[in-house]
Amino acid sequence: QVQLVQSGGGSVQSGGSLRLSCQASARLPGNRCMGWFRQRPGKDREGVAWIAGNRSPVYSDSVQGRFTLSRDFGENTLYLQMNSLKPEDTAIYYCAARLDTVCATVLERPSDYNAWGQGTQVTVSS
């Protein structure tokens, strides 16, 4: 089973930037779906950015224009660059991958994924 190992995150003031990384323990085919999700205190897990294979990423309305998802196929790594952070972005962030299916379109629901990173805390203070 491929494992996803996250790094990055931490604490930053409002308006600051952070980058999250998610490295797969083995090569993932380029046609797999991947995504970034977050879980804010007292809330359900929600998607913030998704990618289907090597197509252009898709973003939730709440992060559009501030977050950028990128994928380095050679390094088996998914990134989330987060700029202009707001206190409401405070959450545990998770990367996810659908390992066993060729991905034709983005998968937006957490239940669509079968591999998850360990989660990393992002805290944005005002």
Tens of pLDDT, residue by residue over 59-108, are 999 999 999 999 998 889 999 999 999 999 999 999 999 999 999 899 99
CB atoms within 10 A of CB 59: 18
Per-residue pLDDT at 42: 93
Tens of pLDDT, residue by residue over 21-54, are 999 999 988 899 999 999 999 999 999 999 998 8
Per-residue pLDDT at 63: 98
SS3 state of residue 121: strand
Taking Cα atoms as reference points, which of 31, 39, 35 lies closest to residue 4?
35
